[in-house]
Structure formats: structure tokens, C-alpha cells
Amino acid sequence: MANALRDTYPTATLMNHCVWPYESGEVIVQSYNTLLTLSSLLDASDGVCIVQNEELVRFYFYLHTILVILVILVFFWLFWLSYVRAIRMTD
């Protein structure tokens, strides 16, 4: 696919992303498959970004935690606003 893109758009900058598999994976040869794919990606592209799968999962859970905290804070802020409005209406 990267070679086809390179042939179609020869002057464009081609950046690929490679996700390194888990250390203990389902398939015993997955690291070798990644190395072979990575070598062909390096030949066909201008740059390759390599990210470990564990880091992606860790980053996802970090962002998910921040999102949950923000949702809780917005919920309590909206609850507080409705509470303050209700008190002002009764006064």
C-alpha cells in the first residue's frame, strides 16, 4: 500500500505509523512480522512513527480517566447552577 501511494503521489511526503505488538502476544511470530513490515515501510516512506501497543493502551486509559473526571465536574457544575437558580427563585 505504501509503495502504491509512493507511485501515485511521488512528490508527497509519506508518513507511516507502526504499532509495535504486545510483549507477550497471541502469535509467537508477531514481532518478526512487525520487523519485516517495518523494513518495507522504511523503504517506501519518508518517515515512520513507531508506538508500542502498551503505551497506546496506557495513554487511552489516561485520557479516559481525564474525560470521566471532566464529565463528573460538568455534572456537578450544572447541578450547582440549577441549585443556585432554584434558591434565587424561592427568595
One-letter amino acid of 86 = A
pTM of the model: 0.54
18, β-bridge pairs: 50
Grid cell in block for residue 71: 464529565
Q: Say how far apart CA 61 and CA 58 lie, in whole Å.
A: 5
pLDDT digits (tens, 9 = 90+) for 2-58: 888 888 998 888 898 888 877 776 777 777 888 888 888 888 888 888 888 888 889
Give me the mean pLDDT over the 46-74 stretch: 92
C-alpha cell at 9: 503521489
Parse the chain into domains and list their residue ranges. 2-90
Q: Could you say which DSSP state residue 72 is in?
A: H
Q: How far apart are CA 22 and CA 24, in angstroms?
A: 5
